[in-house]
Structure 1
Amino acid sequence: MTLIAPATTVVETTYGPVRGTTDGPVDVWKGISYAAAPTGKRRFAAPVAPRPWTEVFDADRFGPVGPQSAMPGMSLGEDVRQDEDCLSLNVWSPGTPGDRKPVMVWIHGGAYFRGASSQPVYDGRALAENGDVVVVTINYRLGAFGFVDFSSLSTDRHRFDTNVAMQDMIAALRWVQVNIAAFGGDPDCVTVFGESAGGGAVTTLMTMPSARGLFHRAIAESSPATSVYNQERAAHVARTFLEILGGADDPVERLLTASTDELLAASDELFSRIPSDTPGTLAFGPVVDGDLLPDYPVNSYWNGTALRVPLLIGTNKDEASLFKLMKSPLMPLDPDVIRGMFAEIAAEHPDVEFPDQARIESAYSGLATKSDAMGLTRDFGFRLPTLWIVEAHSRYAPTWLYRFDYATPMLKALKIGATHATELPYVFGNIAHGPKEVTYLLGGLSTGRKVSERMQRRWLAFAKSAVPTGAPGEPAWNAYDRDGRATLLIDKHDTVVPDLDGPLRAAWGEQVIAFA
Structure 2
Amino acid sequence: MPTTTTTPVTTALVTTTAGQVAGTDDGTTATWKGIRYAQAPVGPLRFRAPVPVAAWDGVLDATAFGPAAPQKANPSVPLAPGTVTDEDCLSLNVWRASAAPAAPLPVMVWVHGGAYAFGSSSQPLFDGSTLVSTGEVLLVTVNYRIGALGFLDLSSLSDDQQTFDSNLALRDVILALQWVQENAAAFGGDPDQVTLFGESAGGGLVTALMAVPSAAHLFHRAIAQSSPVSSMYDSARARTVADRVLAELGLDASQVGRLRELPADALVEAGSAVYAQVPAQAPGTLAFAPVVDGDLLPEHPVTVLREGRANPVPLLIGTNKDEAALFTFMKSPLIPITEEAITTMLTDMAEQDPTLELPSREQILATYAGQHARGIGLGIAREIGFRMPTLWAAEGHAAVAPTYLYRFDHSTPMLKALRLGATHATELPYVWGNLHADSKDLTFALGGRGTGREVSRRMVARWRSFATTGAPTGSDDLVLWPPFDPHTRRATMVIDRHDRVVDDLDATVRAGWGEKVLSFS
TM range (shorter): over 0.9
Q: Is the 8 A contact 1:127 1:133 kept in 2?
A: yes
Structure 1: distance between partners of 2:151 and 2:36 = 20
Q: Deviations over 1:364-405 (max 9, x none)?
A: 349861221011101110000000001110011100000000
Identity %: 53
Equivalent residues in 2 for 1:224-263 (5 A)?
Answer: 224-248=228-252, 250-263=254-267
- Equivalent residue for 1:11, pick from 14, 20, 32: 14
Structure 1: distance between partners of 2:306 and 2:272 = 35
Q: Deviations over 1:450-502 (max 9, x none)?
A: 00000011111110000111332432111000201000000000000001011
Q: How many residues align?
A: 511
Equivalent residues in 2 for 1:277-296 (5 A)?
Answer: 277-296=281-300
Q: Deviations over 1:315-355 (max 9, x none)?
A: 00011111001000101111022111101101101122222
Alpha carbon RMSD of aligned pairs, Å?
A: 1.5
Aligned to 1:487: 492
Equivalent AA in structure 2 for residue 86 of structure 1: C
Q: Is the 8 A contact 1:431 1:449 kept in 2?
A: yes
Aligned to 1:3: none
Aligned to 2:5: none
Are the structure 2 counterparts of residues 97 and 488 from structure 1 closer, same or farther at C-alpha, using a change threshold of 3 Å? Answer: closer
Dislocated runs of 4+, deviation >3 Å: 95-99, 247-250, 365-368
Structure 2: distance between partners of 1:320 and 1:388 = 19
Unpaired segments ≥5 residues, structure 2: 1-8
Is 1:503 the equivalent of 2:503? no
Is 1:213 the equivalent of 2:181? no
- Equivalent residue for 1:330, pick from 323, 328, 334: 334
Aligned to 2:312: 308
1:25 CA displacement: 1.5
Equivalent AA in structure 1 for residue 270 of structure 2: A
Is 1:187 the equivalent of 2:191? yes
- Equivalent residue for 1:351, pick from 342, 348, 355: 355
Are the structure 2 counterparts of residues 107 and 334 from structure 1 closer, same or farther at C-alpha, using a change threshold of 3 Å? Answer: same
Equivalent AA in structure 2 for residue 54 of structure 1: D
Unpaired segments ≥5 residues, structure 1: 1-5
Q: Is the 8 A contact 1:101 1:186 kept in 2?
A: yes
Is 1:147 the equivalent of 2:151? yes
Equivalent AA in structure 2 for residue 414 of structure 1: L
Is 1:25 the equivalent of 2:28? yes
Equivalent AA in structure 1 for residue 497 of structure 2: K
1:22 CA displacement: 1.5
- Equivalent residue for 2:42, pick from 29, 39, 51: 39
Q: Is the 8 A contact 1:65 1:80 kept in 2?
A: yes
1:437 CA displacement: 2.6
TM-score, with structure 1 as normaliser: 0.96
Aligned to 2:3: none
Are the structure 2 counterparts of residues 202 and 73 from structure 1 closer, same or farther at C-alpha, using a change threshold of 3 Å? Answer: closer
TM-score, with structure 2 as normaliser: 0.96
SS of aligned partner of 1:207:
coil
Q: Deviations over 1:153-177 (max 9, x none)?
A: 1111001001011000000000001
Equivalent AA in structure 1 for residue 109 of structure 2: V
Q: Deviations over 1:233-292 (max 9, x none)?
A: 011111111011114474232211111111111011011001011100011000011111
SS of aligned partner of 1:102:
strand
1:75 CA displacement: 2.6
Are the structure 2 counterparts of residues 61 and 336 from structure 1 closer, same or farther at C-alpha, using a change threshold of 3 Å? Answer: same
1:442 CA displacement: 1.0
SS of aligned partner of 2:134:
helix
Structure 1: distance between partners of 2:75 and 2:465 = 35
Are the structure 2 counterparts of residues 237 and 73 from structure 1 closer, same or farther at C-alpha, using a change threshold of 3 Å? Answer: closer
Equivalent AA in structure 2 for residue 293 of structure 1: L
